[in-house]
A = this chain, B = another copy of it.
């Protein structure tokens, strides 16, 4: 007689879904949000558009995540900038204090090196306290593969 033992992968899939479905079952009567069950979480935010509105919205989104009571103290966040999103790290853009405050709370501030080359941006025009990584796309791919969430806010001022 052959009995198929569940593989770890299938067990994990079942477990994850069980968690998710338990939460969704609450929807009927007063669903108040998904529940945190892990010790640690990761989230990578992408910014690939320029302008004050996009920067303000993205940094505000990150702050709101850091303050979510479900995730307090359990969270590692990274912000990856590519394409026109490099604006977020340009010196004297008005966001130095905010960026430093986020970094103090553990937020990793990363810049795509391809963008610097392609858009002819000098590393020295960016804040010295940020980190350059090989590619923004690779950074996102690797973080998601580690189980981090990917969040890409829409720049404001469109679709009106």
Tell me the A residues contacting B by CB distance below 8 Å: 7-17, 19-21, 23-24, 27, 30-36, 38-43, 46, 48-51, 53-54, 57, 60-62, 64-65, 67-71, 75-76, 78, 82-84, 106, 108, 110, 112, 114, 118, 131-160
Known: A7-B12, A23-B146, A60-B118. 18 other contacts (CB 8 A): A9-B15, A20-B143, A20-B147, A24-B108, A27-B131, A30-B131, A33-B139, A41-B142, A41-B145, A43-B140, A50-B159, A53-B159, A64-B112, A70-B142, A83-B154, A150-B150, A156-B159, A157-B158
| Identical chains bound together, number | 3
Q: Shortest CB–CB separation between residue A157 and chain B, in angstroms?
A: 5
